[in-house]
Structure 1
Amino acid sequence: MKFNRLEVDKDNPKIKYISVKKYFDEMGQIKDEYVKKSFEFAYSMTFGSKGQHRAYRSGGRHRRKNGEIFANTFQGKLCEFAVYQTLNETHDINEPDLEVYELGKWDKYDFKIDDLITSIKSTKYFGQLLLLETKDWTLDAKYIPNNNEHYDITIMVRLEDEIEQTMKRNRLYYSQICDKAKLWDKFKSNSWAFDIPGYLTHDDLKYLINNKFIINRGDLLNGKTRMDAQNYYCHIADMHDILDLEKINEEI
């Protein structure tokens, strides 16, 4: 399997460009009941002060506000439900964990799909990279914050609705407090289309780590998005095709 590196600007090596693309291809829409569960979880972990996510990315300097963390948490949980909704009739899979954890504690893994320990990663519908903060991973591709957890597969999910833009448009993205009813009102009528463009095996991730597929803190992705932390990367277009979901177990 070939993995493409980012293109490097010939005049400025800190500017990197996407090499190959895979465009959004809707697989379905997240059910209303899962949207509400995801919203409640994200609110509790941020504005509701019942749990806590890290304000900093590993190796990063930007301290995120509750609004930023809410957007990331809401998107991530929605994408977990997208995988659950897609697979729960054909695979043995647990429903996403909605337990609210204090800082430094979280669920051990996103899913166990049949016998595969699975991590879910999410991005916006136009996203083209899987990004993993380098300080979170060992050279054997084990996840350090979860006691060196070994993931058999990492599934990528993209979400069409732009939570971040909705938050910014309503001047909530950089806020620390927000009324739950008013916030839900901004999202309750939205539709939530998703696609699942691909997955990596543990061996794939180990290859990327050991061959230094890295974008550094301060680099400019596509000449405009400055990286806050150093990340391992993989082009979504290079991931295993997940449209035929029955092949997952055969290829591990």
Structure 2
Amino acid sequence: MVSNTIYKTFKTKLHEQEQNGQKFYYLGDNKAKTYQPDNVEIGSELLRSCFEYAFSIANEDKQREYRSGGLARRNKLQIFWDAFRGKVAECHAKVFYENRGCRVSNIDFDIYDRGVWDQYDLIINDKIVSIKSSKHFSQLLMLETKDWKDGKYSGDVYDEDYTPDYFMFIRTRIDVPKELERGDDLNKKNLWQVIQKLTITAEISGLLPFIHFIDQVIKFKYIIKQKDIFKASLNSPGVRMDADNYYVKISELNWPSTLI
């Protein structure tokens, strides 16, 4: 465990284990965080905007097939669902905090050329927030190490001095039909009909202050390497990492109410 008396917080590292000759990492003493969706509905208008955004991103090849430092190539449907999940998460955060009387910036639905991104996801009560989203069973907030050099963002963004005040991790449950999980066949009418029938939920799992990311996560090398296996528990099947990632257990993130 690494403690930091200045910032009154600590994060624990993953435990390393070997089973049947195979090394993997797991949560250790931390229990997996149960998914508890927020009582928030983003509404049909925002849902449609998320869909149109994600479809344009995938159909017009506006995102890279490979993640930063990654090995796995994403096809068009995978890019579509990743973009859709990300925008749904942003909309969820906007509605969540507006419902609690916070000042929240508008969602950016503009489509940028490949390799160009907006400066931030949301500004909440004058704090710049970078939103990271994943599936509902995820247990780690992960940030690709290739995007961060010496504590500064080196990925694709307009402003070279970009630094958020917080990373926000949002888990979403979007039960994609198996036949639409992979492939390059983007049938817009069919995809929209499917999405309208889905029950989509989300949970703001927590916040990571940027200063903790620099002074703890980066400084003490909270890194899970490409091809390493992570398991939420000793008996779970595990996931092999596609790229090197900084990580924080979501059970150790700050409460969402920090921004209110």
Normalising by structure 2, report the TM-score: 0.86
Normalising by structure 1, report the TM-score: 0.89
CA distance in 2, matches of 1:10, 1:191: 39
Kindly state the Cα deviation for residue 30 of structure 1 after the two structures are TM-superposed: 3.1
CA distance in 2, matches of 1:161, 1:178: 18
1:161 and 2:174 matched = yes
1:187 equivalent in structure 2: 195
Kindly state the Cα deviation for residue 10 of structure 1 after the two structures are TM-superposed: 3.7
1:57 equivalent in structure 2: 67
Decide which of 234, 239, 242 is 2:253's aligned counterpart: 239
1:93 equivalent in structure 2: 104
With 101-110 and 143-152 compared, the bigger mean Cα shift is at 143-152
Kindly state the Cα deviation for residue 143 of structure 1 after the two structures are TM-superposed: 5.0
CA distance in 1, matches of 2:152, 2:13: 19
Decide which of 157, 181, 191 is 1:173's aligned counterpart: 181
Letter in 1 for 2:196: K
Instruction: Report if the CA contact (8 A) 1:15-1:220 is conserved.
Output: yes
Instruction: Report if the CA contact (8 A) 1:8-1:14 is conserved.
Output: yes
Taking only aligned residues, the RMSD between alpha carbons, in angstroms, comes to 1.7
Instruction: Report if the CA contact (8 A) 2:139-2:249 is conserved.
Output: yes
Distance 1:143 1:115, change over 3 A: farther
CA distance in 1, matches of 2:142, 2:121: 17
Kindly state the Cα deviation for residue 97 of structure 1 after the two structures are TM-superposed: 0.6
Q: Secondary structure at the match of 2:174?
A: coil
With 33-42 and 231-240 compared, the bigger mean Cα shift is at 33-42
With 134-143 and 188-197 compared, the bigger mean Cα shift is at 134-143
Q: Secondary structure at the match of 1:123?
A: strand
* Percent identity (aligned): 30
Structure 2 gap ranges (5+): 1-8, 232-236
Decide which of 117, 129, 134 is 2:145's aligned counterpart: 134
CA distance in 2, matches of 1:100, 1:65: 19
Structure 1 gap ranges (5+): none
2:219 equivalent in structure 1: 210
Superposed, 1:9-158 pairs within 5 Å as 9-10=17-18, 14-19=23-28, 20=30, 21-28=32-39, 29-47=41-59, 49=60, 52-89=62-99, 90-142=101-153, 144-146=155-157, 147-158=160-171
| Deviation readout 1:172-196 (Å, 9 max, x if unpaired) | 3332232100111111122222111
Decide which of 5, 12, 23 is 1:4's aligned counterpart: 12
| Deviation readout 1:137-194 (Å, 9 max, x if unpaired) | 122253532224101011111112233xx2xx12x33322321001111111222221
Distance 1:105 1:240, change over 3 A: same
